[in-house]
Amino acid sequence: MARESSYRAKRVSQLIHQEISQYLIRELPEFLGFLTVTSVEMPADLKTARISVSVLQKGKREDILKLLQKRAPHFRRLLANRLNLRYNPELIFDIDTSADLEERIDQVLEDIKGKNESEDKA
């Protein structure tokens, strides 16, 4: 039974990912290329959807997050019209900072590489 519910949660999260991505393209075109839905996580009961978004411009992250949170009820109504679910999930938007971590790791690796090269020359 748990396997079935986890499959359903995964499938519904994929559908929500596709729908929210399309809504963002249509309804927030000014952020096209700067805003990406990176993941949607749902519990087995399908009552909440945690939507992670990546924002390219670091200075606008908080403003975009506030805008998405403000528009969450609107997106929720749109999802209710498109998806035939028993419960219309509550949408929770979060900023995905994994790209920042990757950038920091790359920077640290470059620093280590530079130190190793300078030690080899000495």
Residue 113 banded pLDDT, cuts 50, 70, 90: confident
User: In order of start, what are the domains of the chain with their CATH numbers?
Assistant: 2-96 (3.30.300.20)
pLDDT of residue 122: 58
Tokens of 72: 């969450």
- Exposed (0-12), middle (13-18) or buried (19+): which is 121, by Cβ within 10 Å? exposed
Number of residues that this document lists for the chain: 122
Whether the pLDDT of residue 39 is over 60: the answer is yes
The pLDDT tens digits of the residues spanning 70-102 come to 999 999 999 999 888 888 999 999 998 877 777
